[in-house]
Amino acid sequence: MEILQYLNVYSGKNKQRPIKDNLKNVIYEIPCSCNDTCIGKNGIKLATRIKEHKDSTRLMKTQNSAIAEHATSTGHRINWEKTRIIDTDKFWKTRNIKESFHISNINPSLNRNSRLESLFASRLNTLRP
């Protein structure tokens, strides 16, 4: 399925909710009530990943979720229902690169700044003998 079709599904032009909720290998954007957003990626079902973020936020488990950390520290309300798919890639390496690209392009303060550094650090590690 082309990205435009994904976006159409997501924006409601095509009400195929199960497709959206079961999407794997996507890069998504979750908006906050302060108009900032959090960008993430998943190799598992999108609905499952969002549930993890929601659980982390509810339980204030901030170590695995930048959005939980933001909601916990600011008291802002996360607009889960406005989660948007901004890209898709079935290969995790290029998905990581695309995620980093979107983070540096949109530059949301919710994303931890260390993402790009950690991406390149992990790339360097794979290149080492």
Residues engaged in binding Zn ion (CB under 5 A): 32, 34, 76
The greatest distance separating any two alpha carbons of the chain, rounded to the nearest whole angstrom, comes to 49
Question: Cβ of residue 108: shortest distance to Zn ion, in angstroms?
Answer: 10
Name which of 14 and 72 has its Cβ closer to Zn ion.
72
Nearer to Zn ion, 34 or 60 (CB): 34
Nearest distance in Å: CB 7, Zn ion: 24
d(CA 73, CA 92): 30
Q: For Zn ion, give the closer residue by CB, 3 or 106.
A: 106
Q: Are 1 and 24 in contact (CB under 8 A)?
A: no
We find the least distance from the C-beta atom of residue 59 to Zn ion, in angstroms, to be 18
Burial of 57 (0-12, 13-18, 19+ CB in 10 A): buried
